[in-house]
Amino acid sequence: MWFITREFEDAHAECARLTEHGVDARPLPCVVTSVKPWPWAAADEDTWTIFTSRRAVESWLASSHPALGKVAALAPVTSNLLREHHVRIELEGTEGVVELARVLANEQGPHLRYPTSNAGIESAEQTEALSYLTRFNVDRRIAYELTTPPALANAQLPADFGLAFFSPSAVKSYLSVQKNAPREVVCFGTSTASTWNSQRPASWPIAVVTRDVHATLLEEKTP
């Protein structure tokens, strides 16, 4: 049995797709997101805005769509959502915010706006990313908040199960309240896997890293 740790709506859709292909998958939401008002006015043309989460895009979409200046974004989910709303992507990254920051470090512009979450503000990944962006005046502000669902601590898990994580925040939430060790863990992206591998109990499994959780779980079938 695989537990999909995304928010319930996303996890439910993913489980339905997997079940159609013979995978026993069930939702286990490990984060709840609250989108906040977009924290800036319109950007100048030479200002960069970096999007590393679709939730940050949702904050912008819930506003009056002020100008973003030049846009850098993570692919595919975040960048595709921006394109659906006719936003031009100047730079695109596929391996996480640190890789995107390394590329962005070669660009010109005095200011960089970074919409993030309460968890992101404190994350080691964003701290590392900022180390590559010292040429910019970086302005990070909270565009969405992440919390741990109250039900997660009391979730009854079977003796043999796997976990699929899609974000470092979900990993941290699970480890903060759950003591049940999975048999196998699959993580989307290197930053999510790194968070799991560095914070898990020593006896718990090392994560399998993937860029396509659906395909990986279809190969694994059962943990």
**Residue 78 near residue 57, CB atoms below 8 Å:** yes
What's the confidence (pLDDT) of residue 221?
67
Rg (CA), the chain: 18
Report how many domains make up the chain.
2
DSSP 182: P
| Residue ending a domain, choose from 82, 113, 147 | 147
Residues 53 and 113 in one domain: yes
Q: Is residue 93 within a helix (H) or strand (E), and if so which, with residue range?
A: strand 91-93
Domain region containing 114: 34-147
**CA 96-102-105 angle, 5° bins:** 135
Half-sphere exposure of 50 (CA within 13 A, CB side): 30
71 closest CA partner among 96, 99, 100: 100
Residues 45 and 117 in one domain: yes
Q: What is the CATH number of the domain that holds 58?
A: 3.40.50.10090
Residues 88 and 123 in one domain: yes
| Residue ending a domain, choose from 104, 132, 147 | 147
151 closest CA partner among 49, 32, 52: 32
Give dist(CA 194, CA 148) in Å, integer: 20
Residues 174 and 90 in one domain: no
Token pair recorded at residue 63: 């506003």
Give dist(CA 56, CA 6) in Å, integer: 16
Question: Which segments of the chain does DSSP mark as H helices, in order?
Answer: 8-20, 54-61, 77-84, 97-104, 118-121, 124-130, 168-177, 190-199, 213-220
Give dist(CA 96, CA 74) in Å, integer: 7
Tokens 């819930």, residue?
62
What's the confidence (pLDDT) of residue 3?
97
Tokens 């960069």, residue?
48
Residues 12 and 99 in one domain: no
Residues 108 and 200 in one domain: no
Give dist(CA 200, CA 180) in Å, integer: 11
Residue 218 Cα distances to 80, 97, 142, 186, angstroms: 24, 27, 36, 12
Q: How far is CA 102 from the centre of its chain?
A: 18
Half-sphere exposure of 113 (CA within 13 A, CB side): 25
Residues 125 and 182 in one domain: no
Q: The pTM is what?
A: 0.80
Q: How far is CA 219 from the centre of its chain?
A: 23
Q: How far is CA 103 from the centre of its chain?
A: 19
Residues 93 and 127 in one domain: yes
Residues 44 and 133 in one domain: yes
For the chain, 223 residues long, give each residue's pLDDT as a single digit of tens. Answer: 999 999 988 899 999 999 999 999 999 999 999 999 999 999 999 999 999 999 999 999 999 999 999 999 999 889 999 999 999 999 999 888 999 999 999 998 899 999 999 999 988 889 999 999 999 999 999 999 999 999 999 999 998 999 999 988 999 999 999 999 999 999 988 888 989 999 999 999 999 999 889 899 998 767 7
